[in-house]
């Protein structure tokens, strides 16, 4: 018999909620605008209301729900369901989220970091369906990651494992806001991709991209670079070669360390598609040890914007 759980993706702009079954299918969904709530408690009350409505819509009772999983953009203590703080959402410092919601709803609650949740969703129900050992990375403004070992999330000693974006790429490199320097994120994050393309335009090396943005450098984004690469623009393709090479370098270290069956890449930058994936795969094959390097599959994430909700519910399946 299929089971049901609630999956919540709490984001800086929207909080997305869904009733998900144990096959990973979303049966009912709803959405709140996170920024409409001026306090943490009013947002929590609205979330509780939406959960009750979802359960009712499905013709179920709280007793039929396995639990409520929540993915949040920040560090958490998974065992206690405690949120240390959220990126871009104010007033959540040291919030006992599990306790607060269980008190309101009398349903078990689990809280985890949003990238861990996405990794779990992709491995159970997305690109990695059935994988026992996988690493998931997300490429965007930040670069995050989640590690699945023997079918379960690996969280580490203080629940921060999987920070692929803060693996050192250079021994002496650019300062990073994690406190380190030379981190992968500083060389493949959204801002860096845009700034490298702007430098190429200023140096007269990217006339095609310059024409696409009508000379307005402030509108250069990774999406523009992707669009240009798809049209065959040489400067854009060359930039993805560089970015893919850096990502592949870090991933080859991960392949040697963890020997995963697959690495799943998601997030906005992954939409660059083959111009990015080609150099990533090539670099991983070239730099990692022969047997694990040949075995590992490098795939694009499949669940898109639903990964957070599906993955959060998957904490209970």
Q: Which is nearer to Zn ion, 160 or 259 (CB)?
A: 160
169 near Zn ion, rule: CB under 5 A: no
Q: Which is nearer to Zn ion, 24 or 144 (CB)?
A: 144
Q: Where are the beta strands (DSSP E) in the chain?
A: 4-10, 14-21, 26-33, 65-72, 76-77, 82-83, 109-113, 134-139, 143-149, 152-153, 262-266, 297-300
Interactions with Zn ion, residue window 181-240 (CB under 5 A): 183
Nearest approach, Cβ of residue 312 and Zn ion (Å): 26
The answer to whether 119 and 153 have CB atoms below 8 angstroms apart is: yes
Can you tell me which residue has the tokens 């009733």? 19
The answer to whether 26 and 310 have CB atoms below 8 angstroms apart is: yes
Using the contact rule CB under 5 A, the part of the chain among 33-41, 161-169, 247-255, 300-308 near Zn ion is 161-169
The helix (run of H) or strand (run of E) holding residue 149 is strand 143-149
Q: Tell me the CB-side half-sphere exposure of residue 123, using CA atoms within 13 A.
A: 31
The answer to whether 31 and 16 have CB atoms below 8 angstroms apart is: yes
The answer to whether 114 and 308 have CB atoms below 8 angstroms apart is: yes
Q: Which is nearer to Zn ion, 88 or 152 (CB)?
A: 88
Mark out the alpha helices in 203-233 (DSSP H runs): 207-212, 222-230
Q: What are the two backbone dihedrals, phi and then psi, of residue 142, each rounded to the nearest 5 degrees?
A: -105, 165
Both tokens of 106, joined, read 């009398």
Q: Which is nearer to Zn ion, 109 or 176 (CB)?
A: 176
Q: Which of 40, 155, 166, 210 binds Zn ion (CB under 5 A)?
A: 166
Q: How far apart are CA 118 and CA 53, in angstroms?
A: 25
Other Cβ atoms closer than 10 A to 313 = 34
Q: Which is nearer to Zn ion, 6 or 176 (CB)?
A: 176
Q: Which of 178, 211, 257, 289 binds Zn ion (CB under 5 A)?
A: 178
Using the contact rule CB under 5 A, the part of the chain among 21-29, 169-177, 223-231, 307-315 near Zn ion is 169-177
Nearest to 180 by CA among 188, 190, 169, 189: 169
Using the contact rule CB under 5 A, the part of the chain among 2-10, 137-145, 178-186, 268-276 near Zn ion is 178-186
Using the contact rule CB under 5 A, the part of the chain among 133-141, 166-174, 239-247, 265-273 near Zn ion is 166-174
Interactions with Zn ion, residue window 258-287 (CB under 5 A): none
Q: Which of 74, 108, 168, 180 binds Zn ion (CB under 5 A)?
A: 180
The answer to whether 269 and 140 have CB atoms below 8 angstroms apart is: yes
Residue 175 carries which DSSP code? B
Nearest approach, Cβ of residue 169 and Zn ion (Å): 10
Can you tell me which residue has the tokens 């949740």? 117
Nearest approach, Cβ of residue 179 and Zn ion (Å): 7
Q: Which of 72, 109, 115, 176 binds Zn ion (CB under 5 A)?
A: 176
Q: Which is nearer to Zn ion, 98 or 166 (CB)?
A: 166
Q: x/- site string to Zn ion, residues 115 to 154, per CB under 5 A?
A: ----------------------------------------
Total residues in contact with Zn ion, by rule CB under 5 A: 5
Nearest to 301 by CA among 98, 131, 117, 137: 137
Q: How far apart are CA 159 and CA 169, in angstroms?
A: 23
The contact set with Zn ion (CB under 5 A) reads: 166, 176, 178, 180, 183
């Amino acid at each position: 018999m299929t089971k049901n759980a609630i999956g919540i993706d709490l984001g800086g702009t929207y909080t997305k909620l869904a009733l998900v079954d144990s096959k990973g299918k979303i049966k009912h969904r709803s959405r709140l605008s996170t920024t409409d709530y001026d306090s943490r408690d009013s947002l929590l009350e609205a979330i509780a209301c939406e959960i009750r409505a979802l359960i009712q819509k499905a013709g179920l009772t709280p007793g039929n729900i396995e639990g409520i999983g929540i993915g949040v953009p920040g560090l958490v203590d998974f065992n206690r369901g405690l949120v240390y703080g959220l990126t871009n959402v104010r007033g959540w410092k040291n919030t006992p989220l599990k306790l607060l919601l269980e008190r309101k709803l009398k349903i078990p609650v689990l809280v985890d970091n949003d990238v861990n949740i996405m990794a779990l969703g992709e491995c159970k129900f997305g690109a990695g369906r059935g994988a026992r050992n996988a690493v998931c990375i997300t490429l965007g403004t930040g670069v995050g990651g989640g590690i699945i070992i023997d079918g379960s999330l690996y969280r580490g000693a203080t629940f921060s494992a999987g920070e692929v974006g803060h693996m050192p790429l250079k021994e002496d490199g650019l300062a990073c806001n994690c406190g380190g320097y030379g981190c992968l994120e500083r060389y493949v994050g959204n801002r860096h991709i845009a700034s490298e393309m702007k430098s190429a335009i200023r140096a007269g090396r990217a006339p095609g991209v310059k024409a696409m943005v009508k000379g307005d450098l402030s509108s250069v984004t990774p999406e523009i670079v992707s669009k240009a690469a798809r049209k065959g623009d040489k400067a854009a393709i060359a930039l993805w070669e560089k970015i893919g090479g850096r990502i592949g370098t870090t991933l080859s270290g991960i392949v040697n360390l963890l020997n995963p069956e697959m690495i799943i890449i998601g997030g906005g930058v992954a939409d660059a598609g083959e111009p990015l994936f080609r150099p990533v795969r090539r670099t991983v094959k070239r730099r990692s040890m022969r047997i694990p390097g040949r075995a590992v599959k490098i795939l694009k994430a499949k669940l898109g914007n639903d990964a957070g909700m599906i993955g959060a519910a998957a904490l209970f399946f």
